[in-house]
Structure 1
Amino acid sequence: MAGPSRVVSLAPSATAILDAAGLADRVVGATVHSALDRPAVGGWLNPDFDRIDALDPDVLCTCDDLQEDVAAEARDRGFDVEHVAPATLDEVFDTFPTICDAAGDVAAGASLAGDCRQHLDSVATAVADEARPTVYCEEWADPPMAAGNWVPDVVRAAGGAYPFLDAGERSREVTREAVESAAPDHVVLHPCGKGERGDPAAFTARNWDVDADVHAIDDSLLNQPSPALLGGIDRLARCFHPDADLPDPWSPPARESDGSI
């Protein structure tokens, strides 16, 4: 897509990608879940297409299989849609140029992806000689669900071992027996949509036979396929390997907005 585009982001991950790439000025509307102060156009699964139309966007951004119906309806209404559905950490990074290309600057997305991969290399070097603790990541508590998609990659990037699912598999229900059998050293609670409100005390109250450090972290750091995952990797690496010579936590490279929108 040539030139700057007016983007309505219906996915918090797309908003975060564009913001980190220095293209926040091109986002003219977003869902109520957006961290950017933009006109709200409804929720993730129930956008208000009349509000979207009034913003005169060039493109709408959606993400994940759960938004396929939203993307299809938007196309039926005549909107151009950029839809991505990454399942692994590498695929998440691959979406950065795609999303930024929709906003008119593919190079910004490629640069962002390269910067993120470079940071991962630095973390990998820092934990290369460390013993890998076993980790259980719980995306939902009732019923308990082991996190899938890119979370196994995130755990391994942070220097942990994740025996519950392979990268790219969808999150799924897990039994008490399976968790106990894995004997995790760390339990990471990141219930979807609940921010930092995972409850270690509630996990302990289950009386599972698990001798582990229990951590509650903001769900966006593990659940959102955006540069936020770098924050999750940094956070977990410090939990798993507090004595390792880890790089400073990742932050987006400084970029000046072109003020195009």
Structure 2
Amino acid sequence: MSKRIVALEPSIAAIFVALGQGAKLVAVSEHCSHLADVAHLPRTPSSWSIRAEDLASYRPDLVIASAPYRQESITALLAARLDVLCLAPESLADVYRHIDLVGRITGATDRAQKLIAAMHQEFDVIRQNLMGRLRPRVYVEMWPKPAMNAMPWVAELVELAGGEFVPLPPGRSVTDAEIQAADPQLIVLAWAGAAQINPEVVYRRPGWRELAAVRTRRVVTVDEMLLNSPGPNLVEGARRLAEVIHSFEKR
């Protein structure tokens, strides 16, 4: 059983904390400032830019990375004879599998199954509370230049929170023409790595002024860690999406 683990992404660290296994972490990603339970741990670069020398002093017996990562970075870790586990989640099903995997790695299988069951239950409650209501077209943007719509698991969250995710498919660059054709009624900004986002940026975009969401000034921001980090925090992300989608009906 691994006892000295480095988590290169916030989602991985969050899973360890949720399973009560934070003590097995010896270092975490520099992007974990929102996780109070690992605030005392040393910080490392992320999966994208990590180097073997960044990890030498921690003597990890397992390094867990998650997409997006550079093949060159991971190859360098392997060349340094480090054991590396790479995750590439796309769907909520993948998130559940990874929680189960961390549970098995740490000997916390029961806790992992309870966490997965609790997430299912919370999502079901959100879905049931919004049944029969209007389903506005929702565009979730995770990066502005070039514009990219959110990952597939976010599309699932939008649907269960009472919206219609547009444009499909998720997790890719989108053109102005695609956005115009989809004509979202609500735009959610959750830019990766952005501490603050000004919705006025969207209102000023050329070619976007005739979008329903822009004409009615329905552009909102959501903490990107609630949506872009595929872990237990997605429950709170779904609640936040449900709030902003439900508020659409009240205006």
Q: Which residue of 2 aligns with 1:21?
A: 19
3-state DSSP of counterpart to 2:178: helix
1:203 aligns with 2:202: yes
Indicate if the aligned counterparts of 1:61 and 1:99 stay in contact, CA closer than 8 A: no
Alignment of 1:163-202 (within 5 A): 163-166=166-169, 169=170, 171-195=171-195, 197-202=196-201
- Correspondent of 2:234 among 224, 229, 236: 229
**Ranges in structure 1 where 5+ consecutive residues have no aligned partner:** 245-261
Alignment of 1:88-237 (within 5 A): 88-166=91-169, 169=170, 171-195=171-195, 197-207=196-206, 208=208, 209-212=210-213, 213-237=218-242
Distance, in Å, in 2 between the alignment partners of 1:73 and 1:48 is 7
Sequence identity percentage:
27
Distance, in Å, in 2 between the alignment partners of 1:72 and 1:50 is 13
Indicate if the aligned counterparts of 2:190 and 2:223 stay in contact, CA closer than 8 A: yes
3-state DSSP of counterpart to 1:98: helix
The one-character-per-residue Cα deviations of 1:194-225 (angstroms, maximum 9, x if unpaired) are 13x22211101115111221111111111111
Query: Which residue identity does 1:116 align to in structure 2?
Result: M
Distance, in Å, in 2 between the alignment partners of 1:243 and 1:219 is 20
Distance, in Å, in 1 between the alignment partners of 2:189 and 2:198 is 7
Shift of 1:45: 2.1
Indicate if the aligned counterparts of 2:4 and 2:60 stay in contact, CA closer than 8 A: yes
| Change over 3 Å in CA distance of 1:53–1:111 after alignment to 2 | farther
Query: Which residue identity does 1:218 align to in structure 2?
Result: D
Query: Which residue identity does 2:74 align to in structure 1?
Result: A
Distance, in Å, in 2 between the alignment partners of 1:240 and 1:72 is 42
Distance, in Å, in 1 between the alignment partners of 2:52 and 2:15 is 23
Indicate if the aligned counterparts of 2:15 and 2:99 stay in contact, CA closer than 8 A: yes
Query: Which residue identity does 1:184 align to in structure 2?
Result: P
The one-character-per-residue Cα deviations of 1:139-162 (angstroms, maximum 9, x if unpaired) are 121222222332211111211101
Distance, in Å, in 1 between the alignment partners of 2:168 and 2:151 is 6
Query: Which residue identity does 2:183 align to in structure 1?
Result: A
**Ranges in structure 2 where 5+ consecutive residues have no aligned partner:** none
3-state DSSP of counterpart to 1:136: strand
CA RMSD of aligned residues (A): 2.1
| Change over 3 Å in CA distance of 1:67–1:127 after alignment to 2 | farther
Query: Which residue identity does 1:6 align to in structure 2?
Result: R
Distance, in Å, in 2 between the alignment partners of 1:71 and 1:84 is 12
Shift of 1:68: 4.4
Shift of 1:65: 4.8
Calculate the TM-score normalised by the size of structure 1: 0.83
1:239 aligns with 2:236: no
Calculate the TM-score normalised by the size of structure 2: 0.86
| Change over 3 Å in CA distance of 1:205–1:108 after alignment to 2 | same
Distance, in Å, in 2 between the alignment partners of 1:69 and 1:151 is 28
Indicate if the aligned counterparts of 2:51 and 2:76 stay in contact, CA closer than 8 A: no
Indicate if the aligned counterparts of 2:9 and 2:47 stay in contact, CA closer than 8 A: yes
